[in-house]
Structure 1
Amino acid sequence: MSIQDKINKLKKDFEALDGWESRYRLIIEIGHNLTPLLETEMVDENLVKGCMSKVWLVANVIDGKVIFKGDSDASITKGLVAILVGVYSNETPDDIINTKPDFLDDLGIKDALSMNRASGLTSMLKQIRLYALAFKVKMGQA
């Protein structure tokens, strides 16, 4: 499934819902489906800076594709992590770097978040892009 297919599926899922209460429930539900990180991965070096909640993000490259894993100690934030991991994981560094996060605006997610959560979401996106850029350089594609 391409990155755009993943985004389109998310849009369809969110458009089917009425109001923000049901959208928050969906975000939390998506978070429940996130594979938990190992304790050895929940370390300070994997913490995303700029998040009020604790957010861990781990990235590896397998066969030229970036695989993300993440977790959070807060339900809504964990759902946001799961959305980002779901969209950007198993994609090439170039696809990650070239895919603008404006789909989050299309879903209305950013507008419904508190200023702190919106800032944390921006920090998560920045970290994902930094991982992709680092892997691109490491793979000699830059």
Structure 2
Amino acid sequence: MNLPADAVAALQIFQDASGWEQRARLLMQWGERLPPLSDEDKCEANLVHGCESQVWLVGRLHDGHWQFSASSDARLIRGLVALLLARVNGLSADELQQVDLPDWFNQLGLSRQLSPSRSNGLNAVLQRMFELTE
């Protein structure tokens, strides 16, 4: 499956990172690069349920390809969500269904960082993406 350009860039950067501390710093930087959501978008309707942290998700369809925006009040989660968006933005609904979340974070060398609650939270974000694309 073709990876979006942002996903390819993320893989390159994270696989080149020497050790865990550098990956953690990169994770925070990716989170900081997420464009902020407007206050209107940070509403109850866009809140992802199943996350311990607050995560808002907005999806828009452009020419058959999905573009998601998200934000979180937790820095680490924001970084993980930014990397999830890098993996899914620009995909069709069918391609989105084939995204393997554990495999993606494993390729990035971040699976250690995914505690069960973070993993569940990211799965909740992905599930919400599926709901939006239906």
Task: Provide the C-alpha distance between the structure 2 equivalents of 1:130 and 1:24, rounded to a whole number of angstroms.
Answer: 30
Distance 1:111 1:46 in 2: 28
How many residue pairs get matched? 132
2-structure distance, mates of 1:69, 1:44: 15
**Letter of the structure 2 residue corresponding to residue 112 of structure 1:** Q
Query: Partners of 1:98 and 1:118 in 2: how far apart?
Result: 17
What one-letter code is carried by the residue in structure 2 that aligns with 1:47? L
Which of 53-62 and 80-89 deviates more?
80-89
Structure 2: 5+ residue runs without aligned partners? none
What is the letter of the counterpart of residue 44 of structure 2? D
The structure that has the greater radius of gyration is: 1
Measured in 2, the distance between the counterparts of 1:32 and 1:13 equals: 16
How does 1:1-142 map onto structure 2 within 5 Å? 2-3=2-3, 5-101=5-101, 102-132=103-133, 134=134
TM-score by length of 2: 0.88
Q: Distance in 1 between matches of 2:106 and 2:50?
A: 20
How far apart are residue 117 of structure 1 and its match?
1.5
Q: Which amino acid aligns with 2:7?
A: I
Identity of aligned residues (%): 32
Structure 2 counterpart of 1:28, one-letter code? M
Alignment partners' CA distance in 2, 1:65 and 1:4: 11
Which 4+ runs in 1 deviate beyond 6 A? none
Structure with the higher helix share, 1 or 2? 1
**3-state SS of 1:61 partner:** strand
Equivalent-residue separation in structure 1 for 2:22 and 2:31 (angstroms) = 14
1:97 Cα deviation from its structure 2 partner: 1.3
Runs of 5+ consecutive residues of structure 1 not aligned to the other structure: 135-142
* Structure with the larger RCO, 1 or 2 (CA within 8 Å, 6+ apart): 2
Pair 1:9–1:96, CA change in 2 (3 A):
same
Normalising by the residue count of structure 1, what TM-score does the alignment of the two structures yield? 0.83
RMSD of aligned Cα (Å)? 1.7
Is the 1:55–1:72 Cα contact (8 Å) retained in structure 2? yes
